Amino acid sequence: MKTYTIAVLPGDGIGPEVIAAAEHVLETVAERYGIRFALERFPIGAAAVAAAGDPLPGQTRAAVTRADAVLLGAVGDPSLDQAPRHLKPETGLLALRALLGVFANLRPVSVHPALAARSPLKPERLRGVNVLIVRELTGGLYYGEPRGREASRAVNTLVYTTVEVERVARLAFAAARRRRGLVTSVDKANVLEVSQLWRDTVTRVGREYSDVRLEHLYVDTAAMRLVAEPAAFDVILTENMFGDILSDEAAVLAGSLGLLPSASLGAGPGVFEPIHGSAPDIAGRGVANPIGAIASVALLLRHGLGLGAAAAAVDRAIGDTLVAGARTRDIAGAGETVLGTWEMGERIAEAVRRAEREVRNEGSSAHSAPPIPHSALE
Ligand code: IPM
Ligand code: MN
């Protein structure tokens, strides 16, 4: 029996709670598909600062580099807001992304019909929404040097090289080719030199993909169109900071930040994590929505391990569970029964058993090809 080693980094706040539910779903997948997952837990973020004085300790670094994939909860703790940079939980996450070279962050956003009423947008605007945000993840303002803070002055630097733009652009075009064939590249080329390089480079890469349409939008216009006309987007390709902001905005379409997964990909092991943060205000109460983490498990199976049928079963199980009326508190309407984190995970794990059979009966060929060819990651 094949064994996959998954480095599990629960992290802070609601991280450990949503990860426990996600692991339960992974165990069900293992049982149904005759796979073995060696789930090894390591600290990151504030939990790692407390345990080892470092938000990404050496032991965690060693484990993630030799794993087949990394499953992450969330990092962040308000008690460390004033801590020096090297002790901030977020520094551990940025160091993890840099260490694994996961330059492309995929954030798929769709609206489940059962939850359309949870979004503040009008239902007719939400019809047909299916966006893939491809966020550059290891460059830009997050990593630029020099950086620093003085008493009355602070500096961050925005840098991109053509190589960094080319590789993430290729991935976005390759993804669009297998979707609806449209890439919207988002920049601020009317102001920033970096964005001009971005736009020129994306345009040049786009010529290699003559079957994919390319459009450019300024980030302010993109922010507006994302809520005014969200169904008009297919793949949104953008830099690190713009992608961070636009993906939280896009989560509003889906109805809750707690629903959305992400995959961070490079040439080595990928990192799979919900896009939400550690949510300290609700941590420890067992009420967080685990769907973002469980949908991240589906992305891990599909993109991290190439197990498309198992991924399809998990996605289907999430949908079936929502159709059956299961709700955590963030997505519950008036009068609906509210489940806790663990209960929601159990419902979805049970639904995986049924979904596995259905996916198998439909034939696995539909699920065998990953939506992003691995060649786009090298
Ligand atoms: C995200 C988060 C992180 C980011 C933080 C926690 C550093 O907001 O993954 O979107 O900004 O990348
Ligand atoms: Mn974010």
Look at residue 114 and tell me if it is in a domain. no
Co-location of 273 and 313 in the same domain: yes
| pLDDT interval class at 366 (50, 70, 90) | low
User: Under 8 Å CB-to-CB from 359, ≥6 apart: which residues?
Assistant: 309, 312, 313, 316, 367
Question: What pLDDT does 377 receive?
Answer: 72
Co-location of 134 and 230 in the same domain: yes
User: Under 8 Å CB-to-CB from 366, ≥6 apart: which residues?
Assistant: 312
Co-location of 86 and 153 in the same domain: no
Look at residue 166 and tell me if it is in a domain. yes
| Residue-wise pLDDT tens digits, 144-181 | 999 999 999 999 999 999 999 999 999 999 999 999 99
Q: How far is CA 251 from the centre of its chain?
A: 11
Co-location of 134 and 57 in the same domain: no
Q: Which residue has the tokens 């030799």?
A: 66
For residues 83-102, give the mean pLDDT: 97
Which of 70, 80, 90, 94 to mutate for ligand 1's pocket (most ligand atoms within 8 Å of CB)?
Answer: 90
| pLDDT interval class at 319 (50, 70, 90) | very high
User: Two tokens at 317?
Assistant: 């199980």
Co-location of 51 and 151 in the same domain: no
- Kindly tell me if the per-residue pLDDT of 339 is higher than 80: yes
Q: Which of 254, 269, 301 is the last residue of a domain?
A: 254
| Residue-wise pLDDT tens digits, 201-219 | 999 999 999 999 999 999 9
Look at residue 177 and tell me if it is in a domain. yes
| Residue-wise pLDDT tens digits, 286-317 | 999 999 999 999 999 999 999 999 999 999 99
Question: What pLDDT does 369 receive?
Answer: 62
Co-location of 17 and 29 in the same domain: yes
Q: Is the dihedral of CA 284, 286, 292, 294 positive or negative?
A: positive
Co-location of 327 and 276 in the same domain: yes
Look at residue 62 and tell me if it is in a domain. yes
- Kindly tell me if the per-residue pLDDT of 345 is higher than 70: yes
Residues with a known catalytic role: 142, 188, 220, 244, 248
Q: Which of 254, 289, 317 is the last residue of a domain?
A: 254
Co-location of 22 and 98 in the same domain: yes
Look at residue 187 and tell me if it is in a domain. yes
Q: Which of 202, 236, 254 is the last residue of a domain?
A: 254
Contact between 144 and 155 (Cβ < 8 Å): no
Taking alpha carbons only, the member of 257, 193, 186 closest to residue 217 is: 186
Co-location of 227 and 238 in the same domain: yes
Domain count, the chain: 2
Q: Which residue has the tokens 């992974």?
A: 26
Q: If you average pLDDT over every residue of the chain, what do you get?
A: 96
Q: Which residue has the tokens 């379409």?
A: 253
Question: Which atom of ligand 1 lies at the shortest distance from residue 105's CA?
Answer: 9
Question: Which atom of ligand 1 lies at the shortest distance from residue 74's CA?
Answer: 6
Look at residue 113 and tell me if it is in a domain. no
Taking alpha carbons only, the member of 321, 315, 289, 318 closest to residue 302 is: 315
292-296, 328-332, 360-364: range with lowest mean pLDDT: 360-364
Which of 133, 244, 248, 249 to mutate for ligand 1's pocket (most ligand atoms within 8 Å of CB)?
Answer: 244
- Kindly tell me if the per-residue pLDDT of 365 is higher than 80: no
Q: Domain of 219?
A: 120-254
Tally Cβ neighbours within 10 Å of residue 1. Answer: 6
Co-location of 38 and 62 in the same domain: yes
The one-letter code for the residue type at 378 is E
| Residue-wise pLDDT tens digits, 208-262 | 999 999 999 999 999 999 999 999 999 999 999 999 999 999 999 999 999 999 9
We report the CATH number of the domain holding residue 208 as 3.40.718.10
Q: Which residue, judged by its Cα, is nearest atom 5 of ligand 1?
A: 90
Interatomic CA distance for residues 158 and 239, integer angstroms:
10
Question: What pLDDT does 267 receive?
Answer: 95
Q: Ligand 1 pocket, 275 CB below 6 A? A: yes
Co-location of 277 and 333 in the same domain: yes
Question: What pLDDT does 2 receive?
Answer: 86
User: Two tokens at 202?
Assistant: 């994306």
- Kindly tell me if the per-residue pLDDT of 375 is higher than 80: no
Interatomic CA distance for residues 287 and 293, integer angstroms:
14
| Residue-wise pLDDT tens digits, 109-131 | 999 999 989 999 999 999 999 99
Whole-model pTM? 0.96
Question: What pLDDT does 374 receive?
Answer: 73
Q: Ligand 1 pocket, 90 CB below 6 A? A: yes
Co-location of 281 and 359 in the same domain: yes
Q: Which residue has the tokens 């990394």?
A: 70
Q: Ligand 1 pocket, 93 CB below 6 A? A: yes
For residues 270-289, give the mean pLDDT: 97
Look at residue 230 and tell me if it is in a domain. yes
3-state helix/strand/coil string of the chain: CCEEEEEEEEECCCHHHHHHHHHHHHHHHHHHHCCEEEEEECCCCHHHHHHHCCCCCHHHHHHHHHCCEEEEEECCCHHHCCCCHHHCHHHHHHHHHHHHCCCEEEEEEECCHHHHHHCCCCHHHHCCCEEEEEEECCCHHHCCCCCEECCCCEECCCCCCHHHHHHHHHHHHHHHHCCCCEEEEEECCCCCHHHHHHHHHHHHHHCCCCCCEEEEEEHHHHHHHHHHCHHHCCEEEECHHHHHHHHHHHHHHHCCHHHCEEEEECCCCEEEEECCCCCCCCCCCCCCCCHHHHHHHHHHHHHHCCCHHHHHHHHHHHHHHHHCCCCCHHHCCCCCCCCCHHHHHHHHHHHHHHHHHHHHHCCCHHHHCCCCCHHHHC
